[in-house]
Chains A and B, each alone.
Chain A
Amino acid sequence: MIGSSLQGLLSGSIMAGTPLLYATLGEVMGERAGIVNLGLEGVMLMGAVVGFSTTVKTGDPALGVLAAALAGALFNTIFGFLVIERRANQLASGLALMFCGVGLSALIGAPYIGSQIKGLNEVRIPILSDLPVAGTTLFHYDILVYLVVPIAILVWWALFYTRWGLSLRAVGEKPTAAFAAGKNPYRLQYQALFIAGLLGGIAGAHLSLAVAKTWAEWMTAGRGFVAVALVIFSKWHPLRAIAGALLFGGAIALQLQMQARGVPVSPFLLDMLPYLLSLGVLAVWGGARRHVAPASLGQIFRGTE
């Protein structure tokens, strides 16, 4: 009994944590280049709706994921234009992007409410999936779950072990220095935001194609903001984000498990758990984070005129 509920909790955390981790990795990428994107919520919604509608139309969830990633990237480029080209305030632009995503996804998704899809296939791994306990807990997911940890490692490697990543982080720390070293801060920031958009779009697609297998207006319900909090919790590090996403996914899974088991607490109070956990964790970790954040985060590079 306890074993099975622990198992359920773990696999629930993995399922709920996966979209969070994709989104967090994207946000880490952007923030390392000095750009805070609160519009992640909107990017995820665009990914969710484009992924879902493409899957309904074509019957192929793989195409859905691809379309979602592209939609997320293009959508995030609008934000890039505002904050890089037009030097607009990043926080307000991010919120504008969120509004745009909420509205546009509702408009696109309206005909697809109630549509049925099979969703992403479960990928069975020979031998491993047949193990008695670990098999059902760890090896019965869709392909996006298996890919998320390798992608986190890839992001980590790209940021910390490539010339490109070094330049990107230099832009986030001190754009003038990067500029003086012959790098183009604007181009690097666009690249970071494009990749962040790809990941945000995939996060949304996982939510609509694998977790919920349906489309509903504003179905991300603040997960984009939770991911922004998760970036701070992870200290802007892709590998720490894995643990963070599992913890936050755990909060969502715990709340669902308690509701399913009929724990006599109002579902509305249980739903608060992920948000309260985000706030609590930020408050506890907050004091130490100042030294880790990219130094020019949220500021506008105005050239060296």
Chain B
Amino acid sequence: MGLTAEQANEAFRTRKKWWIKSIRFFGLFGFAFLVFAVLLLAFGKNPVKAYADIFSSTLGSTYGFSEILVKMIPLTLTAAAVAVPSRIWLINVGGEGQLYIGALFATWGALTLNTLPAWILLPLLCVLGVLGGGLWASISGILRARGWVSETISTLLMNYVAILLVNFFVFGPWKDPESANYPQTAEFVSAATLPSFAGTRVHAGFVFPLAVLILLYFVLSRTRWGLEMRAIGGNPEAARRNGISISRYMILLMFIGGGLAGLAGMIEVSAIQGRLRPSLSPGYGFVGFLISWMAGGNPLGIVAAAFLLAIVTAGGDILQMAHGLPGSAVNILNALILFVVLSRQGGKGGVK
């Protein structure tokens, strides 16, 4: 079938716009970094040196680069945890709490089933992690599906509950008696530890984000479920009249999203920490939210955004250690990036 002149014209115009858009998009990223630099200057730090330190210690060495890959694993998963429910416009801001509960469930498995061989135990821990995060998020899904509580508010509030729950176990019943005053559980047996590659901290957990993103792409574009989700996302009323159960999708997608964040929690305790600690995550769940919004839920975009924000997250550690800034100061840069992304996406949807 041929294009009409108008269609061709339209296609050309949108293409041209796409170019201008992407140049402006990167310009705006530059703007976010510039504003943060001005802030650093205002607080008496040298922004040029700060940025140079961040980039040389992340991209400048093999070790630094491998650390970025290590951080990308949980970030990609927590971003997917936001992207999956967002297909039907559910806003999951509970990635952080879901990650903690996933880690909690996995830790229970690692501490009580520690006699099992690795080839049974590790898959079991993954299932436990998914189950923990998934069930936790389903509570918000059910509350939303019943029309009781908006999932945005409930997932936000449940972050605090989840972190307190982990604290309760780590300071209380699961505290390792041998670790004097440190609140942490006993170290996992080696069968409960995800193996890592020689000399680096990059571990076997990296297959999960890859598998998840490929599966996500396939399900969304090639299956009936993906079609039904697009139908709900496009016009919920029409979807409902075509016999699609919206509330079932709400609960299911929240379960899947929470499960992915829970898997990230399992990976963190099993591969990185080797035990459960209160300081499990430097805000991976929140940064995942940011990544998903930057990528617009697109799987490839998630990988790219996760790479950028893994550098920023690692940069936060550097600013803290080498430049004497508080660890959460890097949140400003995160927020500025999200500001420019949101102001570009503005105007999608809304009332006239």
A residues neighboring B (CB under 8 Å): 38, 78, 82, 86-89, 91-93, 95-97, 99-100, 102-104, 106-107, 109-110, 175-176, 217-218, 221-222, 225-226, 228-229, 232, 266, 268-269, 271-272, 275-276, 278-279, 282-283, 286-287, 290, 296, 299-305
Contact = CB atoms under 8 A, between A and B. Distances in A.
B335 A96 contact: yes
A229 B152 CA distance: 11
Contact of A102 (B152, B325, B328): B328
Interface in B315-352: 325-336, 338-339, 342-343, 345-352
A268 B165 contact: yes
Given A278-B157, A299-B351, A301-B350, A102 B331 contact: yes
Contacts of B352: 176, 302-305
Nearest to A286: B148
Interface in B100-151: 143, 146-149
A89 B344 CA distance: 11
B342 A93 contact: yes
B157 A88 contact: no
A272 B159 CA distance: 10
Interface of B: 39, 43, 91, 93, 143, 146-149, 152-154, 156-161, 164-165, 167-168, 171-172, 286, 289-290, 293, 325-336, 338-339, 342-343, 345-352
B160 A229 contact: no
A67 to B, nearest CB: 17
Given A100-B331, A299-B350, A276 B161 contact: yes
Contacts of A106: 326-329, 331
B93 A95 contact: yes
A165 B343 CA distance: 29
A109 B328 CA distance: 11
Contact of A268 (B43, B164, B289, B339): B164
B36 to A, nearest CB: 9
Given A88-B346, A300-B350, A99 B157 contact: no
Nearest to A282: B149
A92 B329 contact: no
Most chain A Cβ neighbours within 10 Å, of B39, B43, B329, B349: B329
A39 to B, nearest CB: 10
Contacts of B331: 99-100, 102-103, 106
A100 B158 CA distance: 21
Contact of B147 (A97, A269, A287, A303): A287
Given A38-B152, A217-B326, A225 B157 contact: yes
Given A103-B329, A299-B350, A96 B153 contact: no
B289 A95 contact: yes
Contacts of A301: 350-351
B164 A272 contact: yes
A89 B286 CA distance: 17
Contacts of A218: 328
A102 B40 CA distance: 16
Nearest to B169: A268
Nearest to A299: B351
B168 A89 contact: no
Contacts of A232: 153
Given A282-B148, A282-B153, A82 B350 contact: no
Contact of B164 (A89, A107, A271, A279): A271
Given A99-B334, A300-B349, A110 B148 contact: no
B332 A286 contact: no
A107 B325 contact: yes
A271 B161 CA distance: 8
Contacts of A100: 331-332, 335-336, 339
B39 to A, nearest CB: 7
A182 to B, nearest CB: 18
Contacts of B350: 87, 299-302
Given A96-B338, A272-B160, A300-B347, A91 B152 contact: yes
A266 B346 contact: no
B172 A266 contact: yes
Most chain B Cβ neighbours within 10 Å, of A99, A175, A275, A287: A99
B167 A268 contact: yes
A96 B91 contact: no
A276 to B, nearest CB: 7
A222 B160 contact: yes
Given A86-B343, A110-B325, A287-B148, A97 B171 contact: no
A302 B347 CA distance: 8
Given A106-B326, A299-B351, 12 more contacts: A38-B152, A82-B346, A87-B350, A92-B338, A93-B342, A95-B286, A103-B328, A107-B39, A107-B329, A283-B143, A300-B347, A305-B352
A269 B168 contact: yes
B351 A302 contact: yes
A290 B149 CA distance: 11
B338 A266 contact: no
A102 B93 CA distance: 16
A96 B351 CA distance: 23
Nearest to B351: A299
17 contacts: A82-B339, A100-B332, A100-B339, A103-B334, A104-B332, A222-B160, A225-B153, A268-B172, A271-B164, A272-B161, A275-B160, A275-B161, A279-B149, A300-B347, A300-B349, A301-B350, A302-B351
A96 B147 contact: no
A87 B290 CA distance: 18
Most chain A Cβ neighbours within 10 Å, of B158, B172, B286, B326: B326
Nearest to B143: A283
A97 B335 contact: yes
A159 to B, nearest CB: 22
B342 A92 contact: yes
Contacts of A110: 325-326
A228 B153 contact: yes
